[in-house]
Amino acid sequence: MDNYEYSELLKSLSKKIENITNIVKPDQLKARLSEIEEVQQEPDFWNDVEAAGKTSQEKTRTERILETYGSAKDAVDDAVEYFEMANSEKDEETLEMLYEDASNLQESTNALEVQMMLSGEHDGDNAIVTIHPGAGGTESQDWANMLYRMYLRWAERHNLKVEVLDYQPAEEAGIKDVSFIIKGENTYGYLKVENGIHRLVRISPFDSNAKRHTSFSSVMVSPEINDDIEIEIEDRDIRIDTYRASGAGGQHVNKTESAIRITHEPTGIVVQCQNDRSQHKNKAAAMKMLKSRLYEYEMAKKQAAVDGVEKSDIGWGHQIRSYVMQPYQQVKDTRSGQAFTNVDAILDGDIDKLLEGVLISQAK
């Protein structure tokens, strides 16, 4: 990097900070933070626990936005000031230091930009994730399990809680199906970009001839819908089946039909839950999953209408990302165009740059 390139970078980042400032409106956020702090001092604040909880969450989000904004803005302002001084004084050592820190400066600004994008109605909610292998038998089932592990490791890296709703192991290796909730702030906002088909290319460990195989798995992500959002489901539109839970769970789980499968006939959406020994609790969890999936389905239809495409064009047949392990190492996202060679790290949950890259590209 030279003086001209760094100068252009600073102009670009300064313009980005200026645009974000107009969106964030930091003075208004600070005023709102003061209001919240005053409300929290009132003696009856915790009389309504639910309302108090929402207010406290708003305070946390507001503080985080202001902190991220302030940190990014200060970093860019300082870089501009140091660059002007070092340039005028021909201070090569300081200039070299600024060049070396350019990538960190970009990352902090990108992080702020991404946080501004997570302002959708349900971006702050928990995420319900369902992974289903495509055709291909054991190879695809193993690929589905690799994706499951990737999201678990991502959640672990961010200290997020995971609750498994349904887990169906395959006979030889991998999984037939899995549904789980990842709980934490902005979880859905980040993971919503994972909706779609994920493609794996590798030499299959299940092929004695060591041939290269291509496998597919679908990932479906929907927000965990709260009870205050009304989604009507007619009894005549659903079919409820009970079955014996599979896998670990003790004699009771495996000998009684406690697992629940709900099929929504008009859309063909199927959800199932076998997490609890209680059929009643499994049914309640499955209904919550169905409501979340229906909400996501309707939002996708509306977006399709805005974009002028058919619903089928944005369905599960659309491949969003390829993970190639042989003959070369690369993970490439079709939406952002970004390609990464650290395949092992990504499959171990290091997917933040992938997610942020798609969020930024979609915003543009």
Q: Residue 235: pLDDT above 90?
A: no
HSE toward the beta carbon, residue 318, CA cutoff 13 A: 16
Assign 244 a pLDDT band (cuts: 50, 70, 90): confident
251 has a pLDDT exceeding 70 = no
Q: Is the pLDDT of residue 274 over 90?
A: no
pLDDT band at 115 (very low <50, low <70, confident <90, very high): confident
Answer whether 311's CB lies under 8 Å from 298's CB.
Answer: no
H/E segment holding residue 360: helix 352-363
> What's the distance, CA 242 to chain centroid?
31
At 151, the pLDDT band (50, 70, 90 cuts) reads: very high
The Cα 298–Cα 345 span in angstroms is 35
Lowest mean pLDDT among 71-85, 152-166, 216-230, 247-261: 247-261
Q: Which of 16-25, 72-81, 118-127, 225-234 has the highest mean pLDDT?
A: 72-81
Predicted TM-score (pTM) of the model is 0.75
Phi, psi of 213 (to 5 degrees): -125, 150
H or E, element range at 111:
helix 102-117
- pLDDT computed for residue 348 by the predictor: 96
- Would you say 306 and 300 are in contact if contact means Cβ atoms under 8 Å apart? no
DSSP code for 120: S
* Dist. CA 225–CA 215, nearest whole Å: 32
Band the pLDDT of 247: cuts 50, 70, 90: low
Q: Which residues contact 228 (CB under 8 A, 6 or more apart)?
A: none
Contact 134, 215 (CB under 8 A): yes
The yes-or-no verdict on residue 308 having pLDDT over 70 is no
What domains are defined for the chain? Answer: 3-117 (1.20.58.410), 127-189+198-310 (3.30.70.1660)
Closest CA to 131 of 262, 318, 359, 316: 316
